[in-house]
Amino acid sequence: MIQLDHYLILGAIIFFIGLTGMLIRRNIFIILMCIELMFNAVNLNLVAFSRHLSNLDGQIFSIFVIAIAACESAIGLAIFIAVNRNKETFDIDEVNLMKW
């Protein structure tokens, strides 16, 4: 039988895969996907605790996190397209719009 520990370990592994991908990669699109991966790991833990405690609050909060992640994806992709049109690159080191 799958217990709470299994869900927490899986969520931690997924979160750290997303974190290391975000810190190592320099591609804007890959960084956005790693952020989504970290959001999904948090959602997995919220639903696991909600099921373990027999309380729906974690599942409801998970739905809000999914909605926020969808908004973050839409805004991130809009910024991604705008930067790509101006700089024609996907490398985050070459994008220096904030410099004088």
CATH number at residue 55: 1.10.287.3510
Q: pLDDT tens digit string along 37-71? A: 999 999 999 999 999 999 999 999 999 999 998 89
Q: Is residue 37 a part of any domain in this protein?
A: yes
Tokens at residue 2, please? 């799958």
Please state the domain count of the chain: 1
pLDDT given at position 96 = 66
Measured in whole angstroms, the distance separating CA 16 from the mean position of its chain's CA atoms is: 11
Q: Is residue 97 a part of any domain in this protein?
A: no
Residue, of 100 and 46, whose pLDDT is higher: 46
Q: Is residue 95 a part of any domain in this protein?
A: no
Parent domain of 63: 4-87
Buried b (16+ CB within 10 A) or exposed e, 32-64: bbbbbbbbbbbbbbbbbbbeeeeeeebeebbee
Q: Is residue 24 a part of any domain in this protein?
A: yes
**Res. 100: pLDDT tops 60:** no
Alpha-carbon distance of 35 to 22, in angstroms, equals 7
* Average pLDDT rounded to a whole number, residues 12-26: 94
Alpha-carbon distance of 61 to 50, in angstroms, equals 10
Contact 18, 37 (CB under 8 A): yes
Q: Is residue 93 a part of any domain in this protein?
A: no
pLDDT given at position 41 = 96
